[in-house]
Structure 1
Amino acid sequence: MRGARVADIGAGTGIATALLSARGAEVIAVEPGDGMAAQLRRTLPEVPLVRGNGNALPLATSCVDLLTYAQAWHWTDPAHSLPEAARVLRPGGALALWWNTDPHDVPWITEQARRIGRHFGGVYDNRQGSPGYTAPHVFEGVPAVPEHARRTVRWSRTVPLDTHLANLGSHSLFLVHGESAADAFLARERERLLEIFPTGLVEEVYDVLLIVATP
């Protein structure tokens, strides 16, 4: 990774951008949103940032070794974003996509998903994984990759309860059902999670799905 030229597309606030930079890559961030770009500039002032999206990359032809999409590929139209990826990658370059899923074998996470589904009157599968889960919609349009270029990696983080609930409330299902419905669920969920995590620190567990393709 050290010395590689990397473009992080849909960089958001720069979470993946920072990690790529820390590994020694020469990273350029591409982000269309005003708010996200402003936050990225504040937190990573040393990283070059250009405004744009994956359907029309504001990058020169054959300019990067690696293109990354950290939970951002699904915002693109593969009919445009895949040819764009092929255009800006150097010969031998690669396209890396990843997506966080909630593991099916962590009981409190599975129960939380069920509670959300019951509250909002449907099945909550925003990130819910299952055995053999591949989330094909988030990698739509990318050429099939061999097994050695596909990984599922488990990771975890410990965050304050308020952070966990704020992240949960930002999911689309909460937003489309309105503030009152979301607030009612989150208030009850706070009480339930304090029974599991009495210190107020929540251990979130994720399975990240990763593929590396050559478009």
Structure 2
Amino acid sequence: MTASSHATRAQSFNAAAAQYAANRPSYPPALFDAIEDLAGHPLTGAGVADIGAGTGIATALLHARGADVVAVEPGDGMAAQFRRAHPDIPIIRGDGNTLPLTTSSADFLTYAQSWHWTDPAQAVPEALRVLRPGGALALWWNTEALDVSWIAEAADRIARYFDVNVQAEKQSVNARVADPTGRLDFVRRQVRWSRRVPIDTHLANIGSHSIFLVQGEEAAAAFLAEERDHLTRAFPDGIVEEVYDVILLVATTPA
């Protein structure tokens, strides 16, 4: 992906913030249990900065967990949607490459579905600057469970239509890619969960991904119409079970 296409995809969410907020999947409690386990201390009462917070899906869960959380988000549309949905949670404009946070100010830095929009060469030293001694950097992604047959078949259709390698993208979520400098010692954990949703919600979910948003409405709509036909035949009751593997990477700083 070129730098320009990467930036275009990163910015594409702002025009679809309401669709994103309404249809994207959440995260299971077991994920936050795993974060606490790998970090060695609880989220409750901790100072947390959720970077690339988007519409606040993860931020709200961190807040509900008892964290003293602040959101950091660069996008106008996403930040506006966040403020409408979470007026009680503070949000600061900024991104992971130049964090608008003071040195040694956070117990946790979290990146839910957002680390891949940073430049790790800049984001890693920024994270190390902002984290307190013994603090934790937690990165995670909801990835499709490609061992589920209908999900694998749908992923293949997306791959052919948009000329992308879905399996390779999932496999690329690893410590080497997250920190090519090797300064952080990430531990990886995987958490499986699922949700049952109407086909319309599923289609709106996948349509809110950047690969669709940058195609233009006509191309995306054509694919989603075909996909609706596939899924309606496969699931005549109109309900699909989306199965996810949350891939979690956690690195801690020296105490």
State the TM-score bracket (shorter-chain normalisation). Answer: 0.7 to 0.9
1:2 aligns with 2:44: yes
Provide the aligned C-alpha RMSD in A.
2.1
In structure 1, the partner of 2:66 is: 24
State how far apart, in whole Å, the 2-side matches of 1:139 and 1:38 are: 28
State how far apart, in whole Å, the 1-side matches of 2:144 and 2:203 are: 15
1:139 maps to which of 174, 178, 183: 178
2:75 maps to which of 33, 48, 59: 33
Once the two structures are TM-superposed, the CA of residue 134 in structure 1 deviates from its matched residue by 5.0
User: Residue 141 of structure 2 contacts residue 246 of structure 2 at CA under 8 Å; is this kept in 1?
Assistant: yes
User: Residue 73 of structure 1 contacts residue 138 of structure 1 at CA under 8 Å; is this kept in 2?
Assistant: no
1:203 aligns with 2:241: yes
In structure 1, the partner of 2:250 is: 212
Answer 1 or 2: which has greater helix percent: 2
In the alignment, structure 1 segments of 5+ residues that lack a partner are none
1:69 maps to which of 96, 111, 122: 111
1:108 aligns with 2:150: yes
Once the two structures are TM-superposed, the CA of residue 81 in structure 1 deviates from its matched residue by 1.1
Once the two structures are TM-superposed, the CA of residue 162 in structure 1 deviates from its matched residue by 1.6
User: Residue 185 of structure 2 contacts residue 251 of structure 2 at CA under 8 Å; is this kept in 1?
Assistant: yes
Once the two structures are TM-superposed, the CA of residue 128 in structure 1 deviates from its matched residue by 6.2
Alpha-carbon displacement from aligned partner over 1:174-204 (angstroms, at most 9, x marks no partner): 3444333322221121121122322322211
Secondary structure at the residue paired with 1:108? helix
User: Residue 143 of structure 1 contacts residue 213 of structure 1 at CA under 8 Å; is this kept in 2?
Assistant: no
Once the two structures are TM-superposed, the CA of residue 123 in structure 1 deviates from its matched residue by 4.1
1:150 aligns with 2:150: no
How do 1:78-93 residues align onto structure 2 when only pairs under 5 Å count? 78-93=120-135
State how far apart, in whole Å, the 2-side matches of 1:176 and 1:30 are: 24
Give TM-score, length-normalised by structure 1.
Answer: 0.88
Farther-moved stretch of structure 1 (11-20 vs 153-162): 153-162
Structure 1 residues 113 and 180, CA gap change in structure 2 (3 angstroms): same
State how far apart, in whole Å, the 2-side matches of 1:19 and 1:126 are: 28
Farther-moved stretch of structure 1 (202-211 vs 8-17): 202-211
2:219 maps to which of 170, 181, 192: 181
Alpha-carbon displacement from aligned partner over 1:123-170 (angstroms, at most 9, x marks no partner): 4417864xxx35238624364536xx3101111112222221122223
Once the two structures are TM-superposed, the CA of residue 214 in structure 1 deviates from its matched residue by 2.6
User: Residue 109 of structure 2 contacts residue 137 of structure 2 at CA under 8 Å; is this kept in 1?
Assistant: yes
In the alignment, structure 2 segments of 5+ residues that lack a partner are 1-42
Give TM-score, length-normalised by structure 2.
Answer: 0.75
